[in-house]
């Protein structure tokens, strides 16, 4: 029984360390490479939106593609 409890505690600690490392990487990215970090966070948010609400997410993806094509044609 003690091994099970220690295993659970070890897993919880490992998950906590991983979460802290991810937060530290995001903060460091926002400090040193702001545009790229915001872009990656936006891509992650868009992927989450597509997964949670497909019609809204795919509509937003279509709008972004149209805006990118219009901007490329203009330049």
Alpha-helical segments (H) within 1-75: 2-32, 34-52, 54-74
Instruction: Residue 59: name the closest of 50, 51, 67 by CA.
Output: 50
Asked if 29 and 37 touch (Cβ cutoff 8 Å), the reply is: yes
Model-level pTM greater than 0.75? no
Residue 8 pLDDT > 90, yes or no?
A: yes
Read off the pLDDT of residues 42-60 as tens digits, 9 standing for 90 and up.
999 999 999 999 999 999 9
């Amino acid at each position: 029984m003690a091994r099970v409890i220690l295993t659970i505690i070890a897993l919880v600690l490992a998950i906590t360390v991983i979460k802290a490392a991810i937060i530290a990487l995001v903060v460091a990215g926002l400090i040193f490479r702001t545009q790229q970090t915001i872009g990656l966070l936006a891509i992650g948010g868009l992927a989450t939106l597509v997964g949670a609400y497909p019609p809204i997410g795919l509509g937003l993806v279509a709008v972004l593609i149209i805006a990118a094509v219009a901007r490329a044609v203009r330049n």
